[in-house]
Amino acid sequence: MTMPAFRLERPRSLADAVSILATHGPDAMILAGGTDVVPNLQMKLFSPRVLVDIKPLAKNAQLASIDWSPANGLRIGALATLTSICESPLIREKFPVLAAAVATIAGPLQRNMGTVGGNLCLETRCQWYNQSDFWRKSLGGCLKKDGPICHVAPGGKFCWAAWSGDSAPALLTLDAEIEITGPQGARRLPLAQFYKNDGMDRIALGRDELLTAVHVPARMAGRRGNYHKLRVRNSIDYPLAGVAVSMHVDSRGICRDARLALTAVNPAPLLVKEACEWLAGQPASPELIDRVAQQAIRTAKPLTTSGSTPVYRRDMVRVFTRRALEESWRSADGK
């Protein structure tokens, strides 16, 4: 497989990067670690005229560092590698759900290259889409690329390609915000509002903008949390379903506050909003856990975007939700 032709820009400053993006608009595409973008380019899924390699910006410490202060919380530069995040003692201690989720992304080689910004901006995935040019042409394309119909839901005009990142659900359970930089400067956006739940148009990022940092509020530090990922192999694979939980449990075993988020079962990573409401102020009980797990299933709408069946993936969302909640309560008990 060959690479399509493009011009490569390697801006040395954030301002340059923004200006290049603004100049080229939809013809430009951002490249960071390359683990998602480059295979997709080889498959001819995109044909940008300009590829903007933002890795040189990592020299700007702000864009690749992991910083914590009790006043400002956690800030991770978008170019921080996934390895640096899952191996960070700080993140392991204070934000275990994030460390756990990031440690499951692909494998160590991919995590050495991939960045958190890239992982939050992954292209959505589908077995009818992530295929070679030859393969897709033989099929006649799909709604997302070069074709009239969605092979997952042939009747509709909606693309169901699945959000398949692991860090986003973890960060959703931490009320993360992202910092987006564009021609007008930086703005902050709750991560939950970044995702559009549309397989074709996945994120709310302007063509002249780039994601520059992730912020987690200080109040989320120290929460228990964990991440359960469905995949065939314990390395390399994208998630087929994923459940992230963060929870604050008091000394009496009462959940003071919790978040539950799902991935790989919708075109966006989604918080199960009811979980937050139902869990707050409650002690662990099988009935409550089961009720939340049932609600997680209602949030999950997996379709035939991957090799595993929707029925099984929904099933696993239920099992993983229950396990994630039980573990959070258990670990909070210190048991």
Partner 1 sequence: MSKQLIKLRVNGEQYELAVPPNKLLLDVLREDLGLTGTKRGCDDSSCGACSVLVDGVPMLACVALAASYQDCELTTVEGLGTLDALHPVQSSWGDAGGAQCGFCTSGFLISTKALLDRNPHPSLDEIREALSANLCRCTGYMQIYESVKLAIERAAAAKAAGAGS
Partner 2 sequence: MAQHSIIGKPLAMIESGAKVTGLGKYADDLSVPGMLIGRILHSPHAHAVIRSIDSSAAEALPGVKAVATGKDAPRPYGILPIGHDECVFTKDKARYIGDNVAAVAATSAEIAEQALDLLRVDYEVLPAWFDPLLSTEAAEHWLFADKPRNIEKEYHHNFGSVDEGFAQAAFVREQRYFAGEVNHAAMEPHSTLAIWEPDGRLTVHSSTQVPYYLHRTLAEVLEMPMSQIRVIKPLIGGGFGGKSEVIPIEIAAGVLAKKAKRPVKITYTREEVFLAHRGRPITVVDMKVGLTRDGKITAVAARVVQDGGAYCGYGPVTVLYSGALLGALYDIPNVRYDGFRVLTNKPACGAMRGHGTVNVRFAFESMLDDLAREAGLDPAEVRRRNLLKAPCITVNGLRVTSYGLPECIEKVVERSGWNAKRGKLPYGKGIGIACSHYVSGAANPIIRSNIPHTTVHIKIDRDAAVTVFTGASEIGQGSDTMHVQIAAEILGVRPARIKLVAADTELTPIDLGSYSSRVTFMAGNACLEAAKNMRAQILEAIAAKYKMDPALLDIRDDNVISLDDSRLHIAFDDAIATALEFRGALVAKGTYAPPEEARGGKHKGAGVGPSPSYSYSAQTVEVSVDTETGQVRVEKIIAAHDCGRALNPLTVEGQVEGSVYMGLGQALQEEMVWDNGRLMNPSLLEYKIATTLETPEIESIIVESIDPEGPFGAKEAGEGSLAATIPAVANAIYDAVGVRINSLPITPEKVLAALRVGASFSSPSSSCSSRGSDGGAK
Residue 308: name its binding partner from partner 2, partner 1, none (Cβ under 5 to 8 Å by kind).
partner 2
Choices 19-27, 185-193, 231-239, 252-260 (CB under 8 A): range interacting with partner 1 = 231-239
And the tokens for 281? 């102020």
* 151 near partner 2, rule: CB under 8 A: yes
Residue 335: name its binding partner from partner 1, partner 2, none (Cβ under 5 to 8 Å by kind).
none
Choices 13-21, 107-115, 188-196, 301-309 (CB under 8 A): range interacting with partner 1 = 107-115
Kindly determine how many residues on this chain lie close enough to bind partner 1 according to the rule CB under 8 A.
Answer: 34
- Per CB under 8 A, the list member of 15, 232, 277, 281 interacting with partner 2 is 232
Residue 83's nearest CA partner among 109, 57, 48 is: 109
User: Which positions ≥6 away from 3 have C-beta within 8 Å?
Assistant: 38, 41, 42
* 246 near partner 1, rule: CB under 8 A: no
Residues 219, 206: contact at Cβ < 8 Å?
A: no
**180-199 positions binding partner 2, by CB under 8 A:** none
* 161 near partner 1, rule: CB under 8 A: no
Residue 220's φ and ψ, nearest 5 degrees, are -85, -5
As a whole number of angstroms, the distance between CA 299 and CA 293 comes to 10
* 5 near partner 1, rule: CB under 8 A: yes
And the tokens for 300? 């999950």
- Per CB under 8 A, the list member of 69, 71, 233, 251 interacting with partner 2 is 233
CB of 9 to partner 2, least distance (A): 21
Residue 134: name its binding partner from partner 1, partner 2, none (Cβ under 5 to 8 Å by kind).
partner 2
- Per CB under 8 A, the list member of 23, 72, 108, 154 interacting with partner 1 is 108
* b/e 276-300 (16+ beta carbons within 10 angstroms → b): eebbeeeebeeebbeebbebbbebb
As a whole number of angstroms, the distance between CA 155 and CA 140 comes to 16
Choices 8-16, 149-157, 200-208, 268-276 (CB under 8 A): range interacting with partner 2 = 149-157
* Amino acid letter for position 134: F
Q: In what order do the strands lie in the sheet with 28-31?
A: 7-9, 50-53, 28-31
Residue 316: name its binding partner from partner 1, partner 2, none (Cβ under 5 to 8 Å by kind).
partner 2
User: Which positions ≥6 away from 286 have C-beta within 8 Å?
Assistant: none
CB of 260 to partner 2, least distance (A): 18
- Per CB under 8 A, the list member of 25, 148, 154, 190 interacting with partner 2 is 154
* 286 near partner 2, rule: CB under 8 A: no
Residues 247, 275: contact at Cβ < 8 Å?
A: no
* 112 near partner 2, rule: CB under 8 A: no
CB of 314 to partner 2, least distance (A): 11
Measure the CA angle with vertex 328, ends 323 and 330; round to 5°: 90
Residues 196, 204: contact at Cβ < 8 Å?
A: yes
